[in-house]
Amino acid sequence: MELYNLPIHSLEKMLTEGDISSVELTAAVFDRIDQVEGKISAYITLDRENAQLAAKRADEKIAAGEGGGLCGIPLSIKDAICTKGLKTTGGSKILEPFVPPYDATVIAKLKEQGAVILGKVSMDEFAMGSSNENCAFGIPKNPWNLEHICGGSSGGSAASVAASECIASLGSDTGGSVRQPASHCSVVGLKPTYGRVSRFGLLAFASSLDQIGPLSKDVRDSAIMLNAIGGYDPKDSTSINKEMPDYTAALTDGLQGMKIGIPKEYFTDALDPEVRAAVDNGIKLLQGAGGEVVDLSLPHTEYGVAAYYIIAPAEASSNLARYDGVKYGFREKESESLAEMYSKTRSQGFGDEVKRRIIIGTYALSSGYYDAYYKKASQVRTLIVEDYQKAFSQCDILVSPVTPGPAWKLGEKIADPLSMYLSDVLTISTNLAGLPGISVPCGFSSKGLPIGFQIQASHFEEEKLFKAAYNLEQQLDLQPKYPTL
Amino acid sequence: MEFEIVIGLEVHAQLKTNTKIFCGCTTSFGAAPNSHTCPVCLGMPGVLPVLNKQVVDYSIRMALATNCEINRTNQFARKNYFYPDLPKGYQVSQFDLPIAEHGWVKIEVEDESKKIGLTRIHMEEDAGKLVHDEREPKSYVDLNRTAVPLIEIVSEPDLRSPEEAVAYLKKIHSILRYLDICDGNMQEGSFRCDANISLRPHGQKELGTRTELKNMNSFRNVQRALEYEIRRQRDLLLEGEEVVQATLLWDPDRNVTSSMRSKEEAHDYRYFPDPDLVPIVIDEEWIETARASLPELPGQRKQRFMEELGLPAYDAEVLTAAKELADYFEAALLGYDNAKKLSNWIMTELMREFKGGGPEDIAACKVSPANLAALLTMVQKGTISGKIAKTVFSDMMESGKEAEAIVKEKNLSQMSDEGDLVRIVQEIMADNPEQVEQFRDGKTKVMGFFVGQLMKKTKGQANPQMANELFQKELTK
């Protein structure tokens, strides 16, 4: 077995027992990157020099008996997460060149534990997109089929994990941006409860929806990653001061007594039959492990996309106002006046999808329209939260597909933003309600494209997600584990 | 046609917290450009605000001092607009859920007391500053002031004259300074005022079209700008023209207002709740702790000066307007018990001679309250005359010396000992028998000669009234 194909929990053992060094492991992953990156285009920036230094330091830590966890493990980071001294683009030309003078809280935590940061991976510009085609610096390909999208917006994270160009990755999920690419690339993607992981240092797209989450080769790695990045952060007023359990402790066999909710609104005729079959199979396996199925309803699900595409752009229109050419990043230099500088900088610096959402959001917040759009959408959001509250009074977890169908072909939906937005229907409500959700691989289509299984739970019940996902993963023992590249 | 003047004021007061509203940067004034900044107040990508609780605490104090209702749950909102001094492209402020609403303060104009309503008080962050290069077409951005905490205090349109507007403004200024939450410096911009003003025919209910006045950086400028704008609007209305709703800038050098933007150019700020900041929940305990920490406020102190010290309302108002002056007055009262005489002296001699600025700077005065009390006690005891006291006081203001030291040094104390003076009077009469004869013959004018001789002998220290009486007595014996 190649080192780069191994999960964190195997490598952690090998590192602490001295079978391998982090320097060797890091070199092996860089070799892999050199070998396949030409096909995948997952990375925007590679940081070989600092990664090697970090690996050396990690080896010293391990030698001193301070290893374990993520110490010495090579990771990729979505380019929306600020890394001190390392270019952070958000997938946008407007931030080129921006080098943050600070680390995001999650990065500081990873560094503290001795993780090795390989570089920054591709994403849809400012996390806006579902295919990772909205990136100013190249489009990553799906490692399972290079003609297909890898999903988005954390496409580079999912592709880099699936192609073994890293051991695990950090992405961010605003409406499914971790779970959907994870599903398309057959990796595990976790969107934690809003407030579980600090947002400090994450380029804001929609502040009330954004949450950083890990993408990993398996469920245990996902739990290890959440252990590493979760917890209260005084620098983020929306992070919640709640005790952090050891999430790996939840990974036990058997689901006796667990009630599995099947929301009927998630199983419509719009589902691809192969996706439906794979998910149904997954549900049977969970039942086989002792879970008890409960049919229920989340009646306002159908309004989720509409509400999301008001709230997220509204917040984005304000969050992205700081990219104005005055302080950092790109500035159009030929302008004659301040207004012209603003206009040209933002026209040239932002891509089409970002501009589209800024315009939608600006409109939705405008005087005379606020009540009809933003306020109404906020009310829908409350109804969706209430739907979930009712549902979780009857069950422990909710299960469903992650996406209506497998990864589409590159370019297929790029001219049709509405159909792209609608593909987010199964993941969006999780963010509107601030819940945790996980995507775990559950099969392949006849064309060999991955299919994901989504589990949602109530606030701060990630342990239930991990437990159910782990049981599914163990029973499925899905093959093949890696794409042929 | 007679018009009624309708004025409402918006006051922006910078709070005296040590650090900014959402980060740990210092709020101190006058440092090198951009040296008091960090990624948070610079609006760098991915940073998040963390509320400085002291800002809420100070706002609660102001709300209590102005009889406001405090919103137990209130919220920050984003006010969106582009300008280079606004690094995030939005200002964090409060919109539909401000911290406090529905308050009032009392003002006094021409001996009449009037209640002025406060619409709301809300918390927000200040913007930075642009510095324009005069030689080149370049502008520089200084973000030191960015995110310094402000409260905005909005009055109801209850003010009916520039005098009332200034009285209200001074009252708000005074309360902020009593609470010690704002330094009140209008020149440096830590206390700023915008005015909304309109005219309507007497008896009309609907308000006329208003204009908003900005850039009035002193009480005097507020008065002058309002007077100017009233004249301008009245002239327009009398000629049958319309007032155009607009934002106007006061030009204090030319004494005119000029248009900054019209209604059509007004911003749509697209307010919405700031998702990075959770709602602020204020419980009773927080309010009661703040209430317990409130000092005596100017209105209460004025009342006490009137009731306990028997001062007239005018004196009490003047003395309590600035906390420092009232403190000075009360400190002096510890060594001198005639409140009215002390008040007179402070309002006239002290304020005239004090060149250090306004009454709030009185702490810098070289004459300490104890020294002033000592001086006035000497007058009361007859040790020096009132006239000499003024000379001594001038000297004290200049040198900072104690009254007694100056009186002693310059030998200024009055001779009031009757026995001593009688002896000298008798000596003078013995030395000048001719003049004594003249007086006794009815030439009373020579009295001047006698008093002059006495003053000469006593080097001016004789109590002149006593001298007169003694000569009268001795010469008519």
**Active-site hit among A22, A122, A153, A458:** A153
Determine the distance in angstroms separating the CA of A431 from the nearest CA of chain B, rounded to an integer.
14
Per DSSP, the three-state class of B377 is: helix
Q: For A383-441, how does the pLDDT look when each residue is reduced to its tens digit (9 = 90+)?
A: 999 999 999 999 999 999 999 999 999 999 888 888 778 788 999 999 999 999 999 99
Q: For A150-194, how does the pLDDT look when each residue is reduced to its tens digit (9 = 90+)?
A: 999 999 999 999 999 999 999 999 999 999 999 999 999 999 999
What's the sign of the alpha-carbon dihedral A176, A330, A317, A353? negative
**Active-site hit among A130, A160, A177, A186:** A177
Considering only CB atoms, B80 lies closest to which of A204, A318, A328, namely: A318
Cβ separation A204–B46 shorter than 8 A: yes
A215 lies in the same domain as A355 = no
Residue A401 lies in a domain: no
Nearest CA in chain A to B85: A326
Count the helix, strand and coil residues of chain A and give each as a percent rounded to the nearest 5.
40, 15, 40
A117 lies in the same domain as A231 = yes
A23 lies in the same domain as A166 = yes
Residues of chain B in contact with residue A204, where contact means CB-CB under 8 angstroms, are 45-46, 276
Last residue of a domain, one of A310, A344, A378: A378
- Looking at the 3D structure of chain A, how many domains does it have? 2
Which is it for strands B3-14 and A188-191: parallel, antiparallel or unpaired?
unpaired
Half-sphere exposure (CA, 13 Å, Cβ side) for A20? 21
Q: Is A78 designated active site?
A: yes
Q: Which residues contact B241 (CB under 8 A, 6 or more apart)?
A: none
A236 lies in the same domain as A308 = no
**Number of Cβ pairs closer than 8 Å across A and B?**
102
Within A411-478, strands assigned E span 437-444, 450-457
Residue with tokens 């995507």: A439
Instruction: Quote the CA–CA distance of B185 and B14 in Å, as a whole number.
Output: 9
Cβ separation A199–B48 shorter than 8 A: yes
Residues of chain B in contact with residue A322, where contact means CB-CB under 8 angstroms, are 43-45, 87-89
- Taking CB atoms within 8 Å and a gap of at least 24, the contacts of A27-31 are A27/A52, A28/A2, A28/A3, A28/A4, A29/A3, A29/A4, A29/A74, A29/A118, A29/A164, A29/A165, A29/A166, A29/A167, A30/A118, A31/A4
Per DSSP, the three-state class of A389 is: helix
Indicate if the pLDDT at residue B353 is higher than 80: no
> Which stretches of chain A sit within 8 Å of chain B by CB?
80-82, 88, 90, 95, 98, 100-102, 104, 199-204, 206-208, 234-238, 314-315, 317-318, 320-324, 326-328, 338, 342, 362, 365-367, 370, 374
Burial class (CB in 10 A: 0-12, 13-18, 19+), B231: exposed
CB atoms within 10 A of CB A57: 16
Beta-bridge partners for B77: B93, B273
Weakest-pLDDT range from B22-31, B87-96, B180-189, B396-405: B396-405
Q: Is A153 designated active site?
A: yes
A361 lies in the same domain as A233 = no
Closest CA to B341 of B56, B128, B349: B349
**Active-site hit among A22, A41, A76, A78:** A78
Distance of CA A29 to the CA centre of its chain: 21
Best probe of the B interface among A237, A342, A344, by most B CBs < 10 A, is A237
Q: For B40-88, how does the pLDDT look when each residue is reduced to its tens digit (9 = 90+)?
A: 999 999 999 999 999 999 999 999 999 999 999 999 999 999 999 999 9
ipTM over 0.85: yes
Residues of chain A in contact with residue B44, where contact means CB-CB under 8 angstroms, are 100-102, 322, 327-328
Considering only CB atoms, B270 lies closest to which of A199, A328, A362, namely: A362
Residue A433 lies in a domain: no
A168 lies in the same domain as A241 = yes
Closest CA to A283 of A400, A125, A448: A400
Best probe of the A interface among B23, B37, B38, B47, by most A CBs < 10 A, is B47
Q: Which residues contact A141 (CB under 8 A, 6 or more apart)?
A: A39, A40, A41, A147, A148, A150, A159, A410
Beta-bridge partners for B213: B195, B248
Considering only CB atoms, A326 lies closest to which of B44, B141, B272, namely: B141
Cβ separation A318–B43 shorter than 8 A: no
Write out the residue range of the structural domain in which residue A341 sits. Answer: 302-378
Burial class (CB in 10 A: 0-12, 13-18, 19+), B110: exposed
Determine the distance in angstroms separating the CA of B113 from the nearest CA of chain A, rounded to an integer.
40
Residue A286 lies in a domain: no
For each of the domains in chain B, give its residue range(s) and CATH number, in order of start: 3-289 (no CATH), 296-409 (no CATH), 418-475 (1.10.10.410)
A223 lies in the same domain as A353 = no
Considering only CB atoms, A366 lies closest to which of B44, B47, B270, namely: B270
Q: Tell me chain A's radius of gyration from C-alpha atoms.
A: 21
Determine the distance in angstroms separating the CA of B118 from the nearest CA of chain A, rounded to an integer.
25
The DSSP result for B425-440, as a single string, is HHHHHHH-HHHHHHHH
CATH number, domain of A47, equals 3.90.1300.10
A244 lies in the same domain as A308 = no
Q: For B255-280, how does the pLDDT look when each residue is reduced to its tens digit (9 = 90+)?
A: 888 888 776 677 899 999 999 999 99
Beta-bridge partners for B280: B74
Last residue of a domain, one of A226, A255, A284: A255
Q: For A18-64, how does the pLDDT look when each residue is reduced to its tens digit (9 = 90+)?
A: 999 999 999 999 999 999 999 999 999 999 999 999 999 999 999 99
A123 lies in the same domain as A205 = yes
Instruction: Quote the CA–CA distance of A90 and A128 in Å, as a whole number.
Output: 10
Residue A103 lies in a domain: yes
Q: Are A230 and A223 in contact (CB under 8 A)?
A: no
Which is it for strands A168-173 and A74-78: parallel, antiparallel or unpaired?
parallel
The pTM (predicted TM-score) of the whole model is 0.90
Considering only CB atoms, A322 lies closest to which of B88, B270, B272, namely: B88
